[in-house]
Amino acid sequence: MKTVYERADIVPLLAEIFRELGYEGTSLSRITERTGIGKGSLYHFFPGGKAEMAAAVLAEVDAWFEQAIYQPLGKGDAHQAIAAMWTDVNDYFRSGRRICLVGAFALDETRERFAAAIGDYFIRWIDAVRSALVRAGCSEEEALALAEEGVAGIQGALVLSRALDDRAVFTRSVETLAKRLDAAMR
Amino acid sequence: MKTVYERADIVPLLAEIFRELGYEGTSLSRITERTGIGKGSLYHFFPGGKAEMAAAVLAEVDAWFEQAIYQPLGKGDAHQAIAAMWTDVNDYFRSGRRICLVGAFALDETRERFAAAIGDYFIRWIDAVRSALVRAGCSEEEALALAEEGVAGIQGALVLSRALDDRAVFTRSVETLAKRLDAAMR
DNA sequence: CAATCATTGTACCGATCGGTACAATGGAAG
DNA sequence: CTTCCATTGTACCGATCGGTACAATGATTG
């Protein structure tokens, strides 16, 4: 009896582990312990080891946001796209029970290792929101400021709701942010 | 030749290391490497090892916020106290170059270990801001919402400014938050 | 059926982990 | 000067770290 994986099956499992334990806190033995996947398989799919695993996870996160968040914001009705973003984000982060891996990596020295991917993620997210706001009638400066505030607000809400162990904090924060951006559109 | 420390000298050094490397990323050997303090001294002052070191750091952070942030918010002119908070926070976090250790700990499994201290930190911070806002004329609900938004906003700004490696993001975010709270006071 | 080859489990590597034991050190107090 | 004791450096512990080597496995292909 032998379970056979492919790379695409493993990445989401790794994602959850890196999310919960952080980059340094994630060890190969804990990956094996939680997933049943041995070192043989892990190094077969990720010859670069832990760093390549984390990079693959970041790439998958990026791909998900690209199709689920950034692209919808770039076309169609801006009001609707932004409204959809809030609900998608609330689902994705499971109302604050799931953290943002990219944000978490940004906080400690892990940032140095993945600086490019981390920077890109936030730049593109903010830019997508900004462009939607401009299409909705905001001035350039106001749109940028609100986009930054929205993305930062989500990150802050994640920290706070986890710190207080209170999902309501996240949902409430997202609602407040949604109202603020909504009020700026016309 | 022998350098002699006392506990109070060591804690701030540990704080910076935990901030930069995270709890899991901080090893005893890296502490020694960065500070010159050997294991003998570390275990003399912190018999509980790494966990006690981190707890001591959290306690010191708490003490600092208590005297520099929470207490001023509880008495005197509310406008002035809140204005002072923004500048003190901006200095403390070095315009986003220095992260919030408590927020960082909240994001990964480190939270479990220090859940009580982490929860307290944010509860007390939010409550201090809330009470100042109430004194400044806000309704109870509005004050709580704004206080949460302010504290979460700071955390988000730290994540974002580090991710983008851009201090201006932090300063700008804090200014925006300051204006929002200011507008709600009368 | 035979051959191939992607995938996996196991055994191992040196380095580092957090932690302990303890003797040497040296400043402070009598 | 001597005693004391807080503080420190060093040597060591078993466990775990990330990573490598390689033979066994077994599904796919011809």
CB contact under 8 A, A121 and B149: no
State which residues of chain B have pLDDT below 70.
1
Instruction: Give residue B3's pLDDT.
Output: 86
A6 is near strand D: CB distance < 7 Å:
no
Domain boundaries, chain A: 58-184
Instruction: Give residue B1's pLDDT.
Output: 66
| B84-104 residue pLDDT tens | 999 999 999 999 999 999 999
CA distances (Å), B111 to each of B90, B94, B103, B154, in order?
Answer: 25, 24, 9, 19
- Phi/psi at B5 (5° precision): -110, 165
State which residues of chain A have pLDDT below 50.
none
Instruction: Give residue B2's pLDDT.
Output: 74
Nucleotides in D strand less than 7 A from protein CB:
7-11, 16-23, 25-27
Please give the DSSP secondary-structure letter assigned to residue A48. Answer: T
Tell me which chain B residues have a C-beta less than 8 angstroms from the C-beta of A102.
163
CA of B42 to C1' of D10 (A): 14
Instruction: Give residue A186's pLDDT.
Output: 73
CA distances (Å), A35 to each of A10, A15, A22, A130, B3, in order?
Answer: 9, 12, 16, 39, 48
Instruction: Give residue B162's pLDDT.
Output: 98
Give the separation between CA B119 and CA A51, rounded to whole angstroms: 32
**Mutation for B interface: A34, A108, A126, most B CBs within 10 A:** A108
Residue A49 region by backbone torsions, left for phi larger than 0, else alpha for psi between -120 and 50, else beta: left
Chain A: closest CA distance from residue B133 (Å): 18
Q: Which amino acid is at A130?
A: R
ipTM: 0.96
| A118-168 residue pLDDT tens | 999 999 999 999 999 999 999 999 999 999 999 999 999 999 999 999 999
B4 is near strand D: CB distance < 7 Å:
yes
Q: Does domain B58-184 have CATH number 1.10.357.10?
A: yes
Nucleic strand D contact set for A 16-35 (CB, < 7 Å) = 26-30
